Amino acid sequence: MPIASVTKIMTALVILRTHPLTVGMSGPTIGVSATAYSVYQSELAAGDSVVRVEAGETLSEFQLLEGLLLPSGDNLAVILADWQSGSEPAFVQLMNQLASALHLTQTHFTDSSGLDTGSVSSARDLVLLATVAMKNPVFAAVVAMPSVTLPVAGTVRNYNPILGQYGVIGIKTGWTSAAMGCLVFAANVTVAGQSVQLIGAVLGQPGGPQSGLVAAGRVATALLAAGAGELQPLRLPARDTLVGRVTSGWAGQINLQVTRSISLVGAAGAELGLRLQLRRRRTPWIRGAEVGSLTVTTPGGFRWQEPVVVTRKLAAPSWWWRLTRPF
């Protein structure tokens, strides 16, 4: 489906991958050319979502990202694309290359802002994209801001209708007459005392530029409640549970166990992945020696790792055993 300004998640991600920032950095400054000012005037006249700029003004990379992601400046997407790649088509090529690298099989971009109906994706792909984007600390910091102040535009606000509610910490809205109301969201929820980040995507909600986003916010809120309700604490194996055995030719079997209960959060009925890894270690081993680890993962990507220890002493093999054992 068309995704409108949700496209700007990828625009920002391409910029941050090619021009990385750390939290607190402003990055290089970019001048607003006469051409960029003409784009602003043209898009303003067309009723598009724009951020006010003036020819000759300079904005930092970080400020451009703020204006891109909060009030969804279509004209700022063009400025960033030209700065990065020299032209919109060249930048869009980078966007599609990254989409392919991230295995977003239902996603294709035709512009940097999402005004073009050819920029399409699916809710599934957008959740994957948002998961990657939210791992970037600068991106996550920007989309969590309720408002920012820019040099010429002044104070601009975040269009996310549920930001700051229900644990929501971002990330991006979108609306066009073709895409309707769109919202990709991230929220921190607490399940059994553990903080879990839920990421979701809502597309095609009916309504105008404002009412469509409100409708998308209502659906996102329902999704958050349903998603949190599907989660439950998963505790296994329990402390001192047998998780494996090591067999030695001279001393028989030695049991392996974890020293703490493994506790994580996952969906009810989810299949868990268990992986026991042992590392090379010379004998003798004392009781309780750490010889490896047990990793438990859920389909949602939650991961817990605990050390694995031996339950009794393992002496080194005797010289007689070494001399007489078969080769």
Q: Does domain 4-232 have CATH number 1.20.120.1200?
A: no
Nearest to 212, CA basis, from 72, 47, 4, 70: 4
Pick the more confident residue, 177 or 288: 177
Q: Where, residue-wise, is CATH 2.60.410.10 in the chain?
A: 236-324
Q: How far apart are CA 187 and CA 83, in angstroms?
A: 32
Q: Across the chain, what does the average pLDDT equal? A: 91
**Complete DSSP assignment for 127-151:** HHHHHHHHTSHHHHHHHT-SEEEET
Q: What is the mean pLDDT of residues 67-89?
A: 95
Q: What is the pLDDT of residue 190?
A: 85
Residue 327 in this model has a pLDDT that exceeds 70: no
Query: Rounded to two decimals, what is the model's pTM?
Result: 0.81
Which positions are annotated as active-site residues? 5, 8, 72
Q: What sign does the CA torsion over 217, 218, 221, 227 have?
A: negative
Pick the more confident residue, 253 or 206: 206
- Confidence class for position 185, pLDDT limits 50, 70, 90: very high
Q: What is the pLDDT of residue 76?
A: 97
- Confidence class for position 237, pLDDT limits 50, 70, 90: low
Give the rounded percent of residues in the chain with a pLDDT score beyond 70.
97
- Could you read off the pLDDT of 189-202 as tens digits, one per residue? 988 777 889 999 99
Q: What is the mean pLDDT of residues 10-22?
A: 96
**Complete DSSP assignment for 63-112:** HHHHHHHSS--HHHHHHHHHHHHSSHHHHHHHHHHHHHHTT-TT-B-S-S
Q: Where, residue-wise, is CATH 3.40.710.10 in the chain?
A: 4-232
Residue 263 in this model has a pLDDT that exceeds 90: no
Q: Does domain 236-324 have CATH number 2.60.410.10?
A: yes
Residue 325 in this model has a pLDDT that exceeds 80: no
Q: What is the mean pLDDT of residues 310-326?
A: 84
- Residue 265's SS3 state is strand
- Confidence class for position 54, pLDDT limits 50, 70, 90: very high
